[in-house]
Structure 1
Amino acid sequence: MVSFWNLPPIFNAIILLAAAAVLVVVVTSLFGLLIRVIGRGRMWTTLLRQRTRVPFAVFSTVALSWLALALTLPLQGAVQAGFNHVLLVLLILSAAWAIGSALMFAADLGLARYAEDGSDGWQARRARTQVAVVRRLIGAASVIIGIGAALLTIPGIAAVGGTLLASAGFLSVVAGLAAQSTLSNVFAGMQLAFSGAIRLQDIVVVNGEWGYIDEITLTYVVVKVWDERRLVLPSTYFTQQPYENWTRESTAVLGTVFFDLDWGVDILRMRAKLDQILDESGMWDGAASSLRITDTVGGYVQVRALISAADAFQMFDLSRTVREEMLLWLQRENPEGLPRTRIQTVERDGEAFPRPRRPRTAAQANADTGADAGEPSRGDETRPINAIIDTQEPEAQ
């Protein structure tokens, strides 16, 4: 046992603990100073200090504290065993934290090479997606391994774990759990990360919603919709359901703007106006520009403007700019091209339409055959008009 000036063990322990704390602070400060000198203000030095300073300080504190207490406190029997077991568990957990933090630093170092907004190409966005998933795997693995190693220090749990690992039933349990939705999403998330089907900042259309991939985890994917809403979908959705990926190979996209116009539209002037709008917009990438008549249906002329932009966000604004500016131009410069409904009347001079023929009466039939006009027709009580007038005139007098 280490003793200072024949002091009681508890005071010796306090002295060694204080010395250990000072040593940890000094070593941490010297390490940080050395990193700054070597790195000369580079980005990786900041990442290294942020990721590893606290975990390694905790690991060093636990290790030195265990050494100090073991050298000063005269513990024996079950008390010493329990004390050593507690410190061993803390040392394992802090070591797992430190190792995981070092691996996280390596992942962050690779992630820092690329732009966060995905403007440096689809390959960079794919790398960022894979590194992000690897970081999550490192975090999950560090926790699982640390807790598992700590539990295996308990004799009873270690025996049970060895029995399970040696038994074939353990494999069936794992297979059964893998069939569950949670692990299915985990495997789907890993598949998405390394297959490149979707990447961070990819523009997608999911369930009719237009947005971009905001986050990819081991179990779910977050799609940020254009109106700031978030769609949280399980990872299995992107491995089992169809969706649109507008930036699969490149961020550049083509867009179309349709106009239903009248037959009096001036296509040549409209085409020149489109070129002017694109040149002045500042959002056109110069890759594609055309204006064509694509259909003539229902008394209208369908005109399609084909435009291009560097990414979907600029295309979203450019298409609306083209539509608005072209509408204003039509109202000012070419009102004949605005859609309208025509009604045309046709007059035919000198043309007489035939009158409908009325059915012939019995009296007219008798007159045609020479029958007596004063007698009623056979089979009909109707008499000729002249007979009716003769019978009514005396009464009028």
Structure 2
Amino acid sequence: MENVIRPLIVAGGAVVITLVVGWAVDQAVRRIGRRHPESPLWGPLRRCRVPFQLALCAALLRGAYGYAHIARDHRAAVGQALVLFLIAACAWLAVRVAAAVVESSYARFASTNQDAARVRRVRTQVTLIQRVVSVTVGVVAVAAMLLTFPAMRTIGASLLASAGIIGIVAGVAAQSTLANVFAGLQIAFGDIVRIGDVGVFEGEWGTVEEITLTYLVVRTWDERRITMPVSYFTSKPFENWSRNNPRMTGTVFFHLDHATPIDLMREHLHDILKDCAEWDGRAWGLVITDTTPTTIQVRALATAKDADDIWNLRCILREQLIAWLRHEHPYALPRINTAPAPGLAEAPDREAAAPRSNDMGPGPGNR
């Protein structure tokens, strides 16, 4: 009976202490957050409660399991399991703490900086830094777990001796993966592309939604997701419409008749823009850019604050100008000449049109 009661007392005591300490720490963090609302650290730090409690409970059990008088045959296995659990909980806690610090730093920067492009750049950098920290902590935790086994410690020397060969083989085998990793770091700190950037990627217009160390996710206008390797952005050209400033200039082309009243059309374009919320008021214009024997090409130009507004503005100008031409000046719309070709009776007199022999000028035959 004692072999059952002792383990229950040890386990129950560790759980109770863990719950009490976890609750006390959470209340303290919440109280500090209320006293210092200007600091965004305390909110994300409360998410560390669960990994903190798991790490504390594992540490208490690991330190007190000897007093539970567990059978000698199971003592080594229980101790090994508790050590592995403690390492995993500590790694989780470290990742959560790092994420809280990174998120609070980004939130503080975003709240005090009005430059949207710089905020997106910092967001991209801190996101990749957080991923690097998570991967590093995970690798260290796995290595620490493996080193807790005696067999792994005995072969550590041989592993270190062959590390150079293994590194060369792994580097050759994972050449593309390593290229993507270095490209991800170059994107993060080289400011090539950032989360939230709008542009054209492989012929698709979209917004950069996520950047990792190996791939990048682009959300298209029709809500599709395109996953691309980050090495693409360091080896091929692409259009970034919000690199430094998201403002854009849009154009709409019309093919119209030569009799189109350009001055009236220009005035109506200005009236449309003054009532349009998408126009940012920077520039506008309407000019003839080309002409053919049957039509003229008219270009309407306007500006907007970003890519979404410029798309809507171009559609509005196209619809309203065509409707205005159709109702007010239908003759300005292009027409196809369907009149029949002149017949033989309407054709000019060929004999009268033919050049006379005495009109050909001096020559050997006219002398």
Q: Which letter maps to 1:69?
A: Y
1:34 aligned partner: 28
Q: Which letter maps to 2:250?
A: G
Cα distance in structure 2, aligned partners of 1:319 and 1:161: 67
Secondary structure, in 3 states, of the residue corresponding to 1:299? Answer: coil
1:45 aligned partner: 42
Q: Which letter maps to 1:48?
A: L
Task: Work out whether 1:141 is the aligned partner of 2:139.
Answer: no
* Larger Rg belongs to: 1
Cα distance in structure 1, aligned partners of 2:130 and 2:140: 15
Asked if the contact 1:10–1:73 (Cα under 8 Å) also holds between the matched residues in 2, the reply is no
1:383 aligned partner: none
Task: Work out whether 1:197 is the aligned partner of 2:224.
Answer: no
1:370 aligned partner: none
Cα distance in structure 2, aligned partners of 1:96 and 1:127: 25
Q: Residues 160 and 270 (structure 1 numbering): CA distance in 2 closer, same or farther, change over 3 Å?
A: farther
RMSD of Structure 2 on Structure 1 (CA)? 2.9
Asked if the contact 2:171–2:178 (Cα under 8 Å) also holds between the matched residues in 1, the reply is no
Shift in Å at residue 202 of structure 1? 0.9
What 5-or-longer segments of structure 1 have no aligned partner? 1-6, 356-397
Asked if the contact 1:114–1:120 (Cα under 8 Å) also holds between the matched residues in 2, the reply is no
Shift in Å at residue 351 of structure 1? 5.8
Secondary structure, in 3 states, of the residue corresponding to 2:350? Answer: coil
2:65 aligned partner: 69
Deviation digits for residues 126-184 of structure 1 (CA, Å, limit 9, x no counterpart): 111112222222222222211111111222223334433344324423432442x2232
Deviation digits for residues 315-344 of structure 1 (CA, Å, limit 9, x no counterpart): 111111111111111112222321123478
List aligned pairs for 1:105-254, cutoff 5 A: 105-113=100-108, 121-167=116-162, 168-179=164-175, 181-254=176-249
State the 4+ residue runs in structure 1 displaced beyond 4 angstroms: 113-116, 342-351
2:361 aligned partner: none
Q: Which letter maps to 2:79?
A: N
Shift in Å at residue 32 of structure 1? 1.4
Asked if the contact 2:33–2:43 (Cα under 8 Å) also holds between the matched residues in 1, the reply is no
Cα distance in structure 2, aligned partners of 1:114 and 1:317: 32
Cα distance in structure 2, aligned partners of 1:166 and 1:235: 34
What 5-or-longer segments of structure 2 have no aligned partner? 353-367
Cα distance in structure 2, aligned partners of 1:349 and 1:143: 92
Asked if the contact 2:248–2:303 (Cα under 8 Å) also holds between the matched residues in 1, the reply is yes
Shift in Å at residue 16 of structure 1? 2.8
Shift in Å at residue 113 of structure 1? 4.6
Shift in Å at residue 44 of structure 1? 3.5
Cα distance in structure 2, aligned partners of 1:102 and 1:114: 18
Cα distance in structure 2, aligned partners of 1:27 and 1:264: 85
Task: Work out whether 1:275 is the aligned partner of 2:275.
Answer: no
Shift in Å at residue 74 of structure 1? 5.8
Secondary structure, in 3 states, of the residue corresponding to 1:306? Answer: strand
Cα distance in structure 1, aligned partners of 2:124 and 2:42: 23
Cα distance in structure 1, aligned partners of 2:258 and 2:10: 95
2:53 aligned partner: 57
List aligned pairs for 1:281-300, cutoff 5 A: 281-300=276-295
Asked if the contact 1:185–1:218 (Cα under 8 Å) also holds between the matched residues in 2, the reply is yes
Q: Residues 61 and 330 (structure 1 numbering): CA distance in 2 closer, same or farther, change over 3 Å?
A: same
1:393 aligned partner: none
Q: Residues 349 and 89 (structure 1 numbering): CA distance in 2 closer, same or farther, change over 3 Å?
A: closer
Q: Residues 272 and 162 (structure 1 numbering): CA distance in 2 closer, same or farther, change over 3 Å?
A: farther
1:352 aligned partner: 349
Secondary structure, in 3 states, of the residue corresponding to 1:264? Answer: coil
User: How many positions carry a matched residue from both structures?
Assistant: 346
Cα distance in structure 1, aligned partners of 2:110 and 2:255: 42
Asked if the contact 1:114–1:128 (Cα under 8 Å) also holds between the matched residues in 2, the reply is no
Cα distance in structure 1, aligned partners of 2:313 and 2:110: 24
Shift in Å at residue 79 of structure 1? 4.5
Secondary structure, in 3 states, of the residue corresponding to 1:40? Answer: helix
Deviation digits for residues 107-130 of structure 1 (CA, Å, limit 9, x no counterpart): 2223435779xx961111111111
Deviation digits for residues 335-392 of structure 1 (CA, Å, limit 9, x no counterpart): 232112347889999963229xxxxxxxxxxxxxxxxxxxxxxxxxxxxxxxxxxxxx
Cα distance in structure 1, aligned partners of 2:64 and 2:293: 92
Secondary structure, in 3 states, of the residue corresponding to 1:224? Answer: strand
TM-score computed with the length of structure 2 as normaliser: 0.85
Deviation digits for residues 257-314 of structure 1 (CA, Å, limit 9, x no counterpart): 1111111111222112112212211011112211111111342211111211111111
Secondary structure, in 3 states, of the residue corresponding to 1:305? Answer: strand
Secondary structure, in 3 states, of the residue corresponding to 1:265? Answer: coil
Q: Residues 283 and 71 (structure 1 numbering): CA distance in 2 closer, same or farther, change over 3 Å?
A: same
Task: Work out whether 1:25 is the aligned partner of 2:22.
Answer: no
Cα distance in structure 2, aligned partners of 1:277 and 1:115: 36
Q: Residues 162 and 196 (structure 1 numbering): CA distance in 2 closer, same or farther, change over 3 Å?
A: farther
Asked if the contact 1:216–1:222 (Cα under 8 Å) also holds between the matched residues in 2, the reply is yes
Task: Work out whether 1:311 is the aligned partner of 2:306.
Answer: yes
Q: Residues 226 and 353 (structure 1 numbering): CA distance in 2 closer, same or farther, change over 3 Å?
A: same
Q: Which letter maps to 1:22?
A: V
Shift in Å at residue 83 of structure 1? 3.1
Q: Which letter maps to 2:103?
A: D
Asked if the contact 1:13–1:68 (Cα under 8 Å) also holds between the matched residues in 2, the reply is no
TM-score computed with the length of structure 1 as normaliser: 0.79
